[in-house]
A and B are shown apart, each in its own frame.
Chain A
């Protein structure tokens, strides 16, 4: 057994920032990650970090843009915290040596991004995430923070209280990928989940192969609600063959979208008469797919993104890596040809429900970054708002877990008196467990709700034992290959839970998800080795993807309105009367329980009145 004060699971932007903050607050901090920190997916972020740094801009404008961009589904206390903390936290990165792009006077550059009323996106070329990740890892090395790299976290150790709000998290169970050892990690003060997005639930995604929603699933099974999972952002410019992301920076710098007929459709077809290509991502994604669906797409699949007119010098200065990406992954020279692009799954606005201090309804369990939903992005995230979210809420979660007083949170979490239950869900299937039959090793939930087990060591020991048994069983058992189940799940999600959604399609997807659950009952791991068994690890990940896919689809089915990234065929209007509320889904006695909580539109000084979102 390993023991630390604060255990951070995951080592991307949010994880590293949380670990640094916890360490600075005096806690003995360790990071447990299934990759090495510099391999984390934050490294692939391209665009930049929104922060009000300059004269003419201020945090209130940033908060307003974010609330509008969220289509009024963000919570004001979270959004205002983001906008207030971002400037200092961004400049802190500069103090740590981050190589931001610079102006002639040596100050950091900022550029325009979609949905922003001021050019407040601070960036480092078109590889901001890479520099952010490496700069923070350097600080982790400097501080001597313990990193357990290539350790896969399988489950949480949570007490047995019947009500999730009464439970406490005492640590995690993790698997040393290199040796196959399964060990408990006891967290005296808190566990911070920073495991990133669940993009692998889809087959066309900009997300890394490692983005499998592990944190989402283990928190969900321990009783924490997943919030607003139906809001999945599709990025309008990903390369068609691989899903590799072409940064919004291209449009920020003046890149133009054309259809097959050479029309600049964002204007000529009236999708966004003012902002054009710089309208927010959901608007541009729908415009592109509409062009394709109406027969004006190139090869019936994609549209063109053109940056040639920007000139070689500017492209090389600000978008150089875009040239490399287009060349290496699509065989296109961006200096002489337009680049093919289409929408791809990019970011999960929803996630593990937390308050503005990063805490979940389970005591001692925190989440930050893309795996969390605090919620700052609401129905649609603005470009350049993910990286400030990482540093702001990573920092806050780390500090709070280490025992620092950040003040009372305004956002309430968990199932309580203020919630409204879903009463008329017409689900076509009975959701079930993706465990392993009735075997003892199934251990589907992290806690049995009996109220028996309360001491930290006991809780951890039981959790470790359950995972050891499960691994034994999987290694000895011949059965379905997880890859077949994963492929089937991904295809169904891309077919029916994509940019455009219909009730029939969502029900079709739920049926497939249910089949995947059933097939998973008979899953087996073909590789018998304990050494670097990626087959075993991916089998675990696939189960997590099933849970995540189900919450996304259920959320999309119940939300019968059109808001932000969530488009519903049956209802083409944003319905503020009925739907200014968050969708929450918690795992309860072997099935998902759906409930709602109102959006908080009251900020510190003012109330954000929902307005029509036009660009």
Chain B
């Protein structure tokens, strides 16, 4: 504190107001002036844009088993003001918060990791949060995921999907050579991690399952997401061979990998770019190599 007081205040020599009268404005002042003028320009532009404001035309699927007026499925039209960078999720949220608070859909992280807002948007399974409105033709049709039972509006029953995910025993089971201590990790080569990396990115959004023709016709088919989950463990070198074989047996059952007809629809819609079809084919090859029975 005392050292600060010893320093003479630096502005004392000039009278207030003097510097601005005779000298150039400081870079700081120039900047602030620029900032103020840019702000004014933006406000003006926003004002001018307002009356002719661009809107997005949404056609949103509606259904509620309980409310009489909504028991018959229909599409509602919403016209939402467009903003640069707007996603389908932003638009649907706007419609709910401003026009109809009963509009129902799942969403949470709005950054493509929670996997809860997969909808059928303009005829394709997509995450609403990572789909830019500007990339779509209008009107933008927003529907629940096909081939899943609709609970209400855009919300579908996910229970069956979760059951299929659980059916492949989706948990690490290695107990072959347990590490010597609680502080010693198992080793995994960077190459092996790289091999399973894409498969570990699944966010359980069910877009792939919904896009799959086979899954639509065969309710017991494990489906691309669950098989990918099996791949994630079967290919992880930290699990011993016996376990890998156990995993291959699960996925080569009647409603497992052999059902896949390599139509690539799952791979096309996956929001995490997981090469699902490739993973399924690789597991078929592994099953053959291990001389497992196939159907």
Contact = CB atoms under 8 A, between A and B. Distances in A.
Interface in B83-113: 85, 87, 96-98, 100-102, 104-113
A131 interface: yes
B44 to A, nearest CB: 15
B169 to A, nearest CB: 8
B288 interface: no
Interface stretch (A103-111, A166-174, A418-426, A463-471): A103-111
A407 B107 CA distance: 41
Given A41-B114, A44-B114, A107 B185 contact: yes
A102 B188 contact: yes
A248 to B, nearest CB: 16
Given A92-B182, A300-B38, A528-B67, 12 more contacts: A35-B116, A38-B114, A96-B171, A102-B193, A103-B190, A106-B189, A295-B28, A295-B31, A299-B38, A328-B112, A329-B87, A531-B152
B196 A139 contact: no
Contacts of B204: 36, 38
B6 interface: no
Contacts of B132: 328, 331
B14 interface: no
Contact of B152 (A97, A483, A532): A532
Nearest to A296: B31
Interface stretch (A238-246, A447-455, A605-613): A238-246
A274 interface: no
Contacts of A99: 188, 193, 196-197, 200, 236
B187 A107 contact: yes
Interface residues of B, number: 68
Contact of B102 (A44, A330, A535): A535
Interface in B62-94: 64-67, 85, 87
A142 B200 CA distance: 17
Interface in A220-275: 241-242, 244-245
B34 interface: yes
Interface in A487-506: 487
A325 interface: yes
B174 A97 contact: yes
A95 B108 contact: no
A141 B116 contact: no
Contacts of B107: 209
A4 interface: no
Contacts of B171: 96-97, 138-139, 141-142
Chain B's interface: helix, strand, loop or mixed, by majority? loop
B136 interface: no
Contacts of B32: 294-295
Contacts of B96: 483
A36 B39 contact: no
Given A94-B186, A208-B108, A241-B85, A178 B172 contact: no
Given A38-B115, A295-B34, A91 B182 contact: yes
Contacts of A106: 187-190
A458 to B, nearest CB: 32
B170 A141 contact: yes
A481 B96 CA distance: 11
B183 interface: yes
Contact of A242 (B110, B174, B179): B110
Contacts of B201: 127, 130
A532 B151 contact: yes
Interface in A513-544: 525-535
B160 interface: no
Given A328-B130, A530-B66, A483 B101 contact: yes
